[in-house]
Amino acid sequence: MKEEIQAIFKYLQTQMNAEYSVDENINYVRVLKPNYFQAAEYLRNQGFQRLLTISAVDWIERGTFEIYFLVHKLHEDIYVKVATEIPRDNPTIPSLSKLWLNAAMHEREAWELFGVSFEGNQILKPLFLEDPVEIPPFRKDFNWREFVEKNYSLVHNEER
């Protein structure tokens, strides 16, 4: 089993120029954006049938979003997190919904909360928010106080 896993990560490193590390039982892979979908497809074909999540991290200081997914290979109990970075000013990346059906809902959430567009996802429409917002609420430049004061007529008390 260990040799099989090593072969998978060696392939990702040599064929997709991936960076690889491991921490306890989670394997971390970092790829460039053009290799994001290919890395996902390769892992799916290697038996990683269970997609656990897709999400984003806003690295406002770097002007990027980290987009990542976490997959699991049940029989060997192997977890792999694959991450890439995309620019905040053009946050688009291919959808993984062709590989895992549940990817569509995870991507829908990231689209609504971070403003990341997943190309090929057919259900990118509001899920949680009742009204559209100018800046998606999980971005670091979203001002929660201003939003609450504007939408809920609350007066900010400076003494608190």
Residue 28 covered by a domain: yes
Residue 157 covered by a domain: no
Task: Report the pLDDT value the prediction gives residue 156, as an integer from 0 to 100.
Answer: 54
Residue 158 covered by a domain: no
Instruction: Show the domain range for 47.
Output: 2-152
- Residue 123's CATH number: 3.30.460.80
Residue 131 confidence class, pLDDT cut points 50, 70, 90? confident
Residue 125 covered by a domain: yes
Residue 159 covered by a domain: no
Residue 74 confidence class, pLDDT cut points 50, 70, 90? very high
Residue 21 covered by a domain: yes
Residue 30 covered by a domain: yes
SS3 annotation, the chain: CHHHHHHHHHHHHHHHCCEEEEECCEEEEECCHHHHHHHHHHHHHCCCCEEEEEEEEEECCCCEEEEEEEEEECCCCEEEEEEEEEECCCCEEECCCCCCCCHHHHHHHHHHHHCCEEECCCCCCCCCCCCCCCCCCCCCCCCHHHHHHHHHCCCCCCCC
Span 36-59, mean pLDDT? 98
On the question of pLDDT at 160 being above 80, the answer is no
Q: How many domains does the chain have?
A: 1
Residue 160 covered by a domain: no
pTM: 0.90
